[in-house]
Structure 1
Amino acid sequence: MSSGKKRNPLGLSLPPTVVEEGGRDSAVEAVPGEKVIEDSLRSLHLSGNQAESLQNFLTQKQQISQLGELCEEELDRICELGHGNGGVVHKMRHRKSNLIMARKLVHLEVKASVRTQILKELEILHKCNSPYIVGFYGAFHENNEISICMEFMDGLSLDIVLQTVGVIGESVVGRLTVAIIKGLTYLKQECHILHRDVKPSNVLVNSKGEIKLCDFGVSGKLIDSMANSFVGTRSYMAPERLRGDGYTVQSDVWSLGLSLVELSIGRYPIPPPSRREYAEIFKVSPDVIEFSDDTPEPEGEDTSPRTMAIFELLDYIVCQQPPLLPRGIFSDDLCDFVYKCLRKNVAERADLKSLALEPFYIKYEALDDTADFAGWVQSVIDLRTQQSESK
């Protein structure tokens, strides 16, 4: 595939946003009271560790709210955690409480009325209290910047994890899958929100063994204002979104499937690896890799995603076969799970409820391995520290 020209034979558009089916909730109260917190915790049917962790976060959040409104003068910057088209994230210290948090800073050249509307729409994040959703302390604006203050996750995001370890093993992918589906299910059922931006950089982990979603699309105004920055996000969009069709939870399922393939093979999977590349990645004989009618062997020469112009990439997502996992390297359960996530026809694609009945999901939901996962995250943190020190 040529990389010299930008092609767009389908006339694909890059819409600033895709309208969800159904409306958004209106803004809710800034910080829920103690009785609301207790009722919320009871309704979630949490494990002891989950309930304790969430209770601790909500208690910290109440303490911060009692110390006054969040503002730039009350925050000390410690270090940068990551950055991208959407903004930059810093590790911060709240002076009055000495609490560590993450602050996403988004620069927006918009009218004051639009900034006010964005902050109002972000208030719904106060309602999202789940072990699978990153905690939200609050948001404020100063000059032309919106600050979104969130729970700090010391393992950082899965894209950074992937850069550190190269490939994530299937047992860890299984644990991540369960948490992501539970997070998406919570957003849909309890908050009436579809995520709209599922990808590795929007899944966070920490050394307590927790896995949480962040950056879901609660603010239409914010999405519209940042529309020109979402090229990377479109790489994970389902074919129907790129065609400008309606948006459903199955669009999030596509993005989940694509993310699971990426975590499993160590790179963005479009175009998919050839038999030779798979053999090199996993240090196995090419004969071990099993392609089938459901997962045909990619045709042509190896093509890195970096060599594809954006419209070439989007055309590929819409027109070509999805990047499924070959058997022989991965279990049948994982291959089948990904296959059901990446059906191009929305009517044939799984939804969250059916994915929770899949053998791959059931296997890892049944495992009580939070301590093991916490140890794995800590090993990744240690490895990243070693890599930084050796540079």
Structure 2
Amino acid sequence: VEGGHSEERSESLSGGEMAMEVEGGGGVVPQCFQEPVDWTGFEHGEHLPPPPHSSGEVYRARHGGSGFECVFKVLVIPIPNAQDIQPVIQGIKEAWNGPVGTHPGICALYGCTYDAPNHRVVVATEFMDGLSLRDHMRPGRPIPERVVGSVVSQLVDVLAFLHSQWHRAHRDLKPGNILLNRKGEVKVTDLGQSRQLQATLEQMSSFVGTQQYMSPQRIQGATYTSGCDVWSLGLIAQQCILGEFPYDAVLRERNETDPSIDIMIQLMEEGPPPPLPAGFGAEAREFCRVAMEFDDTQRPSSRALLEHPFVVGCADRQPLGGWVAESLAHMGRA
């Protein structure tokens, strides 16, 4: 939502026999999402900013009977045979509900359904009033180190949980999947990007924009590991601190004024981006450097990063909460 402008819509889901529900991520399932879910009871409200290159839409939704608010992510998947969507729904369920408990830094999943008449997968998740990190990132507008540190500190904790307790990687960590609120809380979303769903969406060119946050190993076709998430986090942290994508300096040196995604991927395969300049904090510089260690065998684990001085020293959420409120006000969302 740019400049406070938003699109208001009132629309209900078709529902039907194909509806399938997924329990919330370890917490109490709201009454309106307890089975069987009446998906026609929800209305779409504000149209939230969708991820770049996405085939779907994101709405703030409200249950008419209880007033409960959540977010609907709607993905149009044109599969003629409705039964073929079952593996996708099951993949979302399995990816979001881990084998042991949950984590407060994982955005709650309330439900998921397939709207067969419109060929849409609808994923209902927790509403975060600070939008996504991507919505606050502006070219040439660096984010204060303490604010970035608070985001990083919470994300490292979530990743350490996913990697050591659930034994899985997020697979699609990017600014659009990092949600914020005015309390200074950070939560990751889109854990449901299962292999089945990714395979389907890649056929629709829905993940072109995501490639810029992939690790060099993943770009080269290697197996996705927890170290890929660590690289993505380091790249995101440096982008926030710099106020520009970390490889932009290299592009300027090569006079690439309008680089294609292929050129960007080539740069990432050649090596890590230039380190943060000396004018930034030593702890922030060191964190970004080790998180983007080009040799993935030398890259620290998320669990090891829990002890990094930049992570330990930025555990306070107050700077982030205040900054989110100010940034939202700047967008006209006070």
Structure 2-normalised TM-score?
Answer: 0.84
The offset of 1:299, in angstroms, is 8.0
CA 1:309 to 1:31, structure 2 compared with 1: closer, same or farther past 3 Å?
closer
Offset from partner CA, 1:273-313 (integer Å, 9 cap, x none): 6xxxxxxxxxxxxxxxxxxxxxxxx8835645xx1112111
User: SS where residue 71 of structure 2 aligns?
Assistant: strand
Residue in 2 aligned with 1:382? 329
Q: Is the 8 A contact 2:271 2:294 kept in 1?
A: no
User: SS where residue 346 of structure 1 aligns?
Assistant: coil
Residue in 2 aligned with 1:370? 317
User: SS where residue 269 of structure 2 aligns?
Assistant: helix
Partners of 1:96 and 1:250 in 2: how far apart?
A: 44
The offset of 1:386, in angstroms, is 6.7
Residue in 2 aligned with 1:45? none
CA 1:30 to 1:320, structure 2 compared with 1: closer, same or farther past 3 Å?
closer
CA 1:217 to 1:101, structure 2 compared with 1: closer, same or farther past 3 Å?
closer
Moved over 6 A (4+): none
Partners of 1:311 and 1:31 in 2: how far apart?
A: 40
Q: Is the 8 A contact 1:156 1:205 kept in 2?
A: yes
Q: Is the 8 A contact 1:250 1:346 kept in 2?
A: yes
Partners of 1:370 and 1:337 in 2: how far apart?
A: 19
CA 1:148 to 1:30, structure 2 compared with 1: closer, same or farther past 3 Å?
closer
Partners of 1:92 and 1:153 in 2: how far apart?
A: 12
CA 1:70 to 1:259, structure 2 compared with 1: closer, same or farther past 3 Å?
farther
Residue in 1 aligned with 2:12? none
Residue in 2 aligned with 1:141? 114
User: Aligned pair 1:356/2:306, yes or no?
Assistant: yes
* Unaligned ranges ≥5, structure 2: 1-20
Q: Is the 8 A contact 2:77 2:121 kept in 1?
A: yes
The offset of 1:255, in angstroms, is 0.7
Q: Which has the higher helix share?
A: 1
Partners of 2:270 and 2:125 in 1: how far apart?
A: 38
The offset of 1:62, in angstroms, is 3.6
Q: Is the 8 A contact 2:22 2:112 kept in 1?
A: no
User: Aligned pair 1:113/2:83, yes or no?
Assistant: yes
User: SS where residue 75 of structure 2 aligns?
Assistant: strand
The offset of 1:370, in angstroms, is 3.1
The offset of 1:371, in angstroms, is 3.9
Partners of 1:271 and 1:378 in 2: how far apart?
A: 29
User: Aligned pair 1:75/2:42, yes or no?
Assistant: yes
Partners of 1:338 and 1:131 in 2: how far apart?
A: 25
> Which amino acid is 1:159 matched to?
R
Residue in 1 aligned with 2:6? none
Q: Is the 8 A contact 2:58 2:74 kept in 1?
A: yes
Q: Is the 8 A contact 1:205 1:377 kept in 2?
A: yes
Residue in 1 aligned with 2:23? 31
The offset of 1:372, in angstroms, is 4.0
Work out the number of aligned pairs and report it: 304
Q: Is the 8 A contact 1:271 1:303 kept in 2?
A: no
The offset of 1:218, in angstroms, is 4.6
The offset of 1:217, in angstroms, is 4.9
Partners of 1:216 and 1:67 in 2: how far apart?
A: 22
Q: Is the 8 A contact 1:170 1:264 kept in 2?
A: yes
* Unaligned ranges ≥5, structure 1: 1-28, 41-57, 274-297
Q: For 1:1-391, list aligned pairs within 5 A.
A: 30-31=22-23, 58-59=27-28, 61-66=29-34, 68-71=36-39, 73-83=40-50, 84-86=52-54, 87-110=56-79, 111-124=81-94, 125-127=96-98, 129-142=102-115, 143-163=118-138, 166-227=141-202, 228-272=205-249, 300=253, 303-304=256-257, 307-328=258-279, 330-365=280-315, 369-385=316-332
Worse overlay, 181-190 or 253-262? 181-190
User: SS where residue 272 of structure 1 aligns?
Assistant: helix
The offset of 1:341, in angstroms, is 0.9
Partners of 1:272 and 1:300 in 2: how far apart?
A: 6
CA 1:67 to 1:250, structure 2 compared with 1: closer, same or farther past 3 Å?
closer
Q: Is the 8 A contact 1:136 1:151 kept in 2?
A: yes
The offset of 1:170, in angstroms, is 0.2
Partners of 2:172 and 2:297 in 1: how far apart?
A: 21
Larger radius of gyration: 1
Partners of 1:249 and 1:339 in 2: how far apart?
A: 17
Offset from partner CA, 1:221-254 (integer Å, 9 cap, x none): 1111011211110111111111111221111111
Partners of 1:223 and 1:106 in 2: how far apart?
A: 12
Partners of 2:252 and 2:33 in 1: how far apart?
A: 57
Q: Is the 8 A contact 2:173 2:213 kept in 1?
A: yes
Q: Is the 8 A contact 1:70 1:140 kept in 2?
A: no
User: SS where residue 285 of structure 2 aligns?
Assistant: helix
